[in-house]
Amino acid sequence: MEWRASHILVKDRALAEEILKRIKSGGQFESLAREYSTCPSKSSGGDLGWFGPGKMIAPFESAVKRLSPGSVGDVVQTQFGYHIIKCTGRKD
C-alpha cells in the first residue's frame, strides 16, 4: 500500500483549526499551504509525494490511512506541530 498526501504544518492548534475551517468552507488547500505552512513542502502546495508504510511518523501515517483520496482529515498533532492532511492518492 502507498499513499500520496499534502499537508499544512503549523505550530498553533488554534491556527490549524481556523485553516481547516477555511478549507471546509471552500478554501483552496494548496493556496492555504503556501500561505501558512512551515514545512518546505509549502512551495508545492503541501504535496509530500508518494510514500509507503513506515515512511511517515505514526500519527501522520495512521491519519492518512483513514482518508479517502480527495478528503481532508481533522487536525493531527505530532512532535513537529499540527498537521492538516489531504489524501491525494492511494495505490494497493
CATH architecture of 2-91: Roll (3.10)
For residue 9, the model assigns a pLDDT of 98
For residue 64, the model assigns a pLDDT of 97
d(C-alpha 85, C-alpha 63), whole Å: 8
Is 64 within 8 Å of 21 (Cβ atoms)? no
Owner of C-alpha cell 513537529: 80
- pLDDT digit string (tens) for the chain, length 92 residues: 999 999 999 999 999 999 999 999 999 999 999 999 999 999 999 999 999 999 999 999 999 999 999 999 999 999 999 999 999 999 98
For residue 35, the model assigns a pLDDT of 98
For residue 31, the model assigns a pLDDT of 98
Domain edges within the chain: 2-91
